[in-house]
């Protein structure tokens, strides 16, 4: 009986995944600097975050890159995520055109979210 109980708890814990990639929810978005689309932006994803974790990308859990049209998409489980984008706008003179910014999102099970990640000139 004890083994059955441990197996049941293990199955329950494994079925309650949260704050990680690979689930049935879908997040898709686009990166923009004002109204300009920013292609090939690095998108950093921080799990279990409601606020900006900072610009040190080593603290983020995953990363993906937008396509030529500035679009990205990933699947995840329910939870809170912070999406942080770092790209280049060649029209910007300072910092070699570096633009950055992010947004927090809350994802529910099976939800489909469409977001814009606004980026701006850094310091």
CATH of the domain at 69: 2.60.40.10
Sequence-distant (6+) residues with CB within 8 A of 22 are 75, 76, 77
Q: What is d(CA 74, CA 32) in angstroms, rounded to the nearest whole number?
A: 18
115 belongs to a structural domain: yes
% of the chain surpassing 90 pLDDT? 79
The total number of structural domains in the chain stands at 1
11 belongs to a structural domain: no
Structural domain of 53: 19-121
% of the chain surpassing 70 pLDDT? 85
Per-residue pLDDT tens over the stretch 22-38: 999 999 999 999 999 99
């Amino acid at each position: 009986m004890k083994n059955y109980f441990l197996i049941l708890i293990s199955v329950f814990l494994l079925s309650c995944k949260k704050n990680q990639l690979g689930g049935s929810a879908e997040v898709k978005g686009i990166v923009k600097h004002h109204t300009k689309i920013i292609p090939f932006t690095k998108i950093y994803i921080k799990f279990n975050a409601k606020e900006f974790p900072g610009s040190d990308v080593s603290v983020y859990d995953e990363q993906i890159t937008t396509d030529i049209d500035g679009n990205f998409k990933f699947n995840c489980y329910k939870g809170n995520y912070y999406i942080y984008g770092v790209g280049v706008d060649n029209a910007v003179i300072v910092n070699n055109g570096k633009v950055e910014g992010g947004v927090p999102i809350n994802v529910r099970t099976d939800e489909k979210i469409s977001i814009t990640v606004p980026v701006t000139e850094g310091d």
